[in-house]
Structure 1
Amino acid sequence: MRIEVIGGGPAGLYFAILMKKQRPNARIRVIERNRPDDTFGFGVVFSDQTLDTFEEYDLPSYKAITENFAYWDDIEIHFKGSLHRIGGNGFCGCSRRTLLLLLQDRARELGIEMDFETEIKSLDELAGADLIVAADGINSFVREQNREHFQPQVDLRPNKFTWMGSTKPLDAFTFYFKETEHGIFIAHTYQYEPGRSTWVLETDPETFDKAGLGDMSEEESARFLEGVFAEELDGHPLMINRSLWRQFPMIRNKRWTMDNVVLLGDAKSTAHFSIGSGTKLAMEDAIALYESFRRKDTVEAALADFEATRREDVEKTQHAADVSLVWFEHVKRYWPMDPVTFSFGVMTRSKAITYDNLELRAPEFVKEASQVFAKSVRAQGFDVDVENPAPPAFQPFRMRGMTVENRFVVSPMCMYSAKEGMPTDFHFVHYGARAVGGAGIIFTEMTCVAPDARITHGCTGLWNDEQQAAWTRIVDFVHANSKAKICLQLGHAGRKGASKLMWEGMDQPLPEGEAWPIISASAVSYYPESQVPREMTREDMDRVKSEFIAAAKRGIDCGFDMLELHSAHGYLLASFLSPVTNKRTDEYGGSIENRLRYPLEVFKALREVWPNDKPMSVRISATDWIEGGITGDDAVKIAEAFADAGADLVDCSTGQTAPESAPVYGRMFQTPYADQIRNEGGLATMAVGAITSADQANTILAAGRADLIALGRPHLADPSFTLRAAGEYGVSGIFAPVQYEPGKAQLLRNAERDREELIELKLKAKPKTHNPAMREAAE
């Protein structure tokens, strides 16, 4: 077998090493345009877990790496004169140049050919090869010459960064945040060998321009940054090595393989330096490709296997990197925060680290973060324990005259089980069970204000006395048997009306004869086959507004504690807000101010009739996930407009505006929008979307990213989700009906034991340290 590897970086070299071990008779050549000891940058980072993997796959190179690294267990965060040091992380730094030389030595030992200072300009030069590995970096010529096939997407991020080095010794991975007259500078720093540390310096475009860095040479930039970080460098210089200012390119490819060619490492996908995974990702690519060749007999089958099995892990790493880099891009958003909350946000920014596993690593730091959160609750007038506080999700919250016992919310979820808009016994049990289960707030499903406002035949309504009586029965039960508050969500389906039940075809139109006429901001159908809605007239607007007012008045009589106006997911009011669905040319279309006009008109009318001491919220789609649609910045403006009209909370959902929306899913994937609206707009927000655990809820709250946490599917699977979570965290003060007190007591006893056992198991499962001194001490 003849294998040609273009690019002598970590990905190409490591794959060559693994394949040569498996197939000693294969002819493997690594072709590198640079000299053997040329390299950009200073150090690379590996976690304990990554080193475990290297030890498993090639012991000689693992030993060579671990004999030439600097090990640290802590992360240090310097912010506004404060220092927080968090242990239990387990990382090592290694010189990139040293890493390459070690891998080159191992490759020579195995008989791999290496051609340096050789540039391949066309795949035709490698004709006859069985396999061509394109590990030729971010600017891959293989990828660029075959763009139509690989279909790369390059997201060039706005922040500017430069890679420098220093003689400053460091004993932790250290973040420095410095505010200057020009703006904020961030240093990502770590030691990679004795007397040498990497300094990645980052700033936003505005600060870059104000400081005049674009007009400076490498040397001038280094001297300028030495001034910015003079205290931190403590007299040590910054060193340069092609330390040009650049923007990070987040690279994704629709395809990774083409005939016998495969992209590897940065040519295939990049991960932002803020999670230290670029080299790790590249070398794990090499391992995955090697494993595919172990599993499959042909090149074609192996490359297909690589695409199929590797993509999910790469996308998870890239998603974590995306979330992390966005945090650093918006660091100004968090600048007013308490240093402890800020540091907690740094640690949990990528979602890889959460409240619970951070508590295993640094219990005193998590306790401090919980104390800061409790102090903010006490500042709102609550008498809570600050010295030994309950976790953030179990702290109370107040909106106007309504006090919520905890931060867990049962999301508004359509059940499609009503009869002519009438809630049934199903709804009585559904809402009652979840209220008894301990949640702070129960949201009703979207309750429609008129028969023609429904999404489906199964949607609930509140337009007649019978429906009002049914809802009153539910509200009375919730109040009599729990401490939960119950919020009425009112909405109008608009162009998504007259649809089938969810399990019969989500958003699919009802057959002719069963459907009713529908209206929307504009005459734009949801699907091509859907009914085309009639564009609303002023008369329609007045009628619909009066229907909302009438339903809200009924809600007052039902005894609801709170009211939410549904202005998301492509329904009627959302269709006014989004430019994707609002094509009007009158005063209700065009600018964001015009598109807000009618939804605000409805909201203000409701605020006028809704009791002043009872809160109101608005649900918005904070992004359409469509080019040209609503963005996060738009969402801040929309949220601020509703807040000015009297909204006490913004319920931050996303998408569902149109079929072409393309959400980027993942854990807590909508939380960044709640975060942006809260920390840029200064508004209370509710986070929702793929939040599945109390751990995630505590993480979001402790980092200051939202005020309430809505969970849907977890509450469907477990009506007592909140009560169970309270047991897991040993929160005994949570309310349970007197009939259920014995069960609560048993839960608390069992949960305390289970949590102790789980912590013990997690501690045992921690990766072993690769620090020779610490390993020797442990042994």
Structure 2
Amino acid sequence: MPADNAHQDDSPSPSHGSIADADHDREIPEIDLLSPLSIRGVTLRNRIVMSPMCQYSSEDGLANDWHLVHLGSRAAGGTALVMVEATAVTPEGRISPADMGIWGEQHVEPLARIARFVKGQGAVAAIQLAHAGRKASCEPPWKGGASITSPEAGGWTVVGPSPIPFHDGDPVPQALDQLGIEGIIDAFEAACRRALEAGFEVIEIHAAHGYLLHEFLSPLSNLRTDSYGGSLENRMRLVLRVAERLRGIMPDALPLFVRISATDWVEGGWDIEQSIALSRLLKGLGVDLIDVSSGALVPKATIPVSKGYQVPFARRIKDEAGIMTGAVGLITEPGHANEIITAGDADLAFIGRELLREPYWAIKAQHDLDGEPSWPIPYGYAVQRRAK
């Protein structure tokens, strides 16, 4: 699998007094937040990623003008990789009726419009493919987020690995049988094909935050006794099968990411050691980067939220699984994001809420770290002229 050339050098170092001394003493440029990164055949202009963030603004799963402006402005604002929010591979895989979807051909062109614009601004367009599992069929968060329990109200039957609801009082999910599991894998494949048709150059599998694939991984939500439950090998099976299927249909030049929750933050749940084991196997299947988040499998978990609290998980997976990682979670300042990259803790910095507050965060980072912000051409003339 292609290596991260910016971080790996397998050639031996010359000894003192060798004819290679001049090369040995040459200063190697430091890799930082503004350094480009090539993954397979895709080159990112810097290490800044717009993390996928649900907008709950679709009708029938369709992308619209809100999504174009929301995502396009961050591409124009200097972000290297712009990722579309969790996009449901089936109608029943939506968190809410207002979620983005990619289960039908009607979804392709509205998403392609976004991908074209993002690429036109010099960024790379990515999409996260998802199934919400037992956390599906809910109201949008600003309406309270409660479960929608009846078809008359717009709800549907939720599914999961085992009949264990997320909250007490929530609908009990229907445990997927073998046929249902095969259908989920097929749905991810079909969604990936549509995403490629729409022009996305990076695909991410959502296996975090308590949604379906994470539910299969964790022993807290997966009590199955068949080949998809029990042992770590069995609990990982669905995620690995999805990754293998998607890598098998993707062009070799395009990267595949997987987002995981590195820990459930609950004793006896999914943890960092299991995450490292999973990441090693995903790397062997051709996954290029692990997007390292945490939590959200159970409603009551003690999470020590603080600046960069998930970064150590990204570092461990990078070091111990030998795969590129992305760090996410309370990364708000360019200096902090830069430290994560220069220290080798992760290869990419995924920025979420701070990019909602500041669409031009990446240009701010250029100004703070380099002193030479690269404005969009229609803005740059006016901004630079005023500065003089």
Return the TM-score normalized by structure 2: 0.90
Distance apart, 1:641 and its partner CA: 1.4
Q: Do structure 1's residue 592 and structure 2's residue 225 form an aligned pair?
A: no
Give 1:510's aligned residue. 148
Number of matched pairs: 367
Q: Do structure 1's residue 487 and structure 2's residue 139 form an aligned pair?
A: no
Query: Judging changes above 3 Å, is the alpha-carbon distance between structure 1 residues 376 and 479 closer, same or farther for their aligned structure 2 residues?
Result: closer
| Residues in 1 aligned to 2:45 and 2:7: alpha-carbon distance in whole angstroms | 12
Distance apart, 1:592 and its partner CA: 0.9
Give 1:300's aligned residue. none
Q: Please state whether the residue corresponding to 2:257 is helix, strand or coil.
A: strand
Q: Which amino acid aligns with 2:38?
A: R
Q: Do structure 1's residue 728 and structure 2's residue 381 form an aligned pair?
A: no
> Matches of residues 182-221 of structure 1 in structure 2 within 5 Å?
none
| Residues in 2 aligned to 1:422 and 1:401: alpha-carbon distance in whole angstroms | 29
> Matches of residues 634-713 of structure 1 in structure 2 within 5 Å?
634-713=274-353
Give 1:496's aligned residue. 135
Distance apart, 1:505 and its partner CA: 2.3
- Unmatched 5+ stretches in structure 1: 1-374, 381-385, 751-779
Q: Is the 8 A contact 1:377 1:397 kept in 2?
A: no
- Unmatched 5+ stretches in structure 2: 11-25
Distance apart, 1:735 and its partner CA: 4.7
Query: Judging changes above 3 Å, is the alpha-carbon distance between structure 1 residues 491 and 376 closer, same or farther for their aligned structure 2 residues?
Result: closer
Give 2:37's aligned residue. 397
Q: Is the 8 A contact 1:391 1:698 kept in 2?
A: no
User: Is the helix fraction higher in 1 or 2?
Assistant: 1
Q: Do structure 1's residue 609 and structure 2's residue 249 form an aligned pair?
A: yes
Q: Is the 8 A contact 2:31 2:341 kept in 1?
A: no
Q: Which amino acid aligns with 1:740?
A: Y
Distance apart, 1:729 and its partner CA: 2.2
Q: Do structure 1's residue 549 and structure 2's residue 218 form an aligned pair?
A: no
Q: Deviations over 1:302-355 (max 9, x none)?
A: xxxxxxxxxxxxxxxxxxxxxxxxxxxxxxxxxxxxxxxxxxxxxxxxxxxxxx
Q: Which amino acid aligns with 1:669?
A: Y
Query: Judging changes above 3 Å, is the alpha-carbon distance between structure 1 residues 724 and 378 closer, same or farther for their aligned structure 2 residues?
Result: farther
Q: Is the 8 A contact 2:334 2:369 kept in 1?
A: no
| Residues in 2 aligned to 1:678 and 1:662: alpha-carbon distance in whole angstroms | 25
Q: Do structure 1's residue 580 and structure 2's residue 242 form an aligned pair?
A: no
How large is the Cα RMSD of the aligned pairs?
Answer: 2.0
**Relative contact order, CA 8 A, sep 6+: which one is greater?**
2
Give 1:741's aligned residue. 380
Q: Is the 8 A contact 2:83 2:125 kept in 1?
A: yes
| Residues in 1 aligned to 2:144 and 2:200: alpha-carbon distance in whole angstroms | 32
Query: Judging changes above 3 Å, is the alpha-carbon distance between structure 1 residues 640 and 746 closer, same or farther for their aligned structure 2 residues?
Result: farther
Distance apart, 1:740 and its partner CA: 2.2
User: Is the strand fraction higher in 1 or 2?
Assistant: 1
Query: Judging changes above 3 Å, is the alpha-carbon distance between structure 1 residues 746 and 719 closer, same or farther for their aligned structure 2 residues?
Result: farther
Q: Which amino acid aligns with 1:649?
A: L
| Residues in 2 aligned to 1:408 and 1:743: alpha-carbon distance in whole angstroms | 25
Q: Deviations over 1:558-607 (max 9, x none)?
A: 11011000001111111100111110011111111110111111111111
Identity value in percent: 36
Q: Deviations over 1:227-246 (max 9, x none)?
A: xxxxxxxxxxxxxxxxxxxx
Give 1:318's aligned residue. none
Give 2:15's aligned residue. none
| Residues in 2 aligned to 1:486 and 1:524: alpha-carbon distance in whole angstroms | 36
Q: Deviations over 1:269-309 (max 9, x none)?
A: xxxxxxxxxxxxxxxxxxxxxxxxxxxxxxxxxxxxxxxxx
Give 1:32's aligned residue. none
Query: Judging changes above 3 Å, is the alpha-carbon distance between structure 1 residues 424 and 637 closer, same or farther for their aligned structure 2 residues?
Result: same
Query: Judging changes above 3 Å, is the alpha-carbon distance between structure 1 residues 448 and 746 closer, same or farther for their aligned structure 2 residues?
Result: farther
Return the TM-score normalized by structure 1: 0.46
Q: Deviations over 1:161-212 (max 9, x none)?
A: xxxxxxxxxxxxxxxxxxxxxxxxxxxxxxxxxxxxxxxxxxxxxxxxxxxx
| Residues in 1 aligned to 2:294 and 2:326: alpha-carbon distance in whole angstroms | 12
Q: Is the 8 A contact 1:394 1:405 kept in 2?
A: yes
> Matches of residues 232-311 of structure 1 in structure 2 within 5 Å?
none
Q: Do structure 1's residue 462 and structure 2's residue 102 form an aligned pair?
A: yes
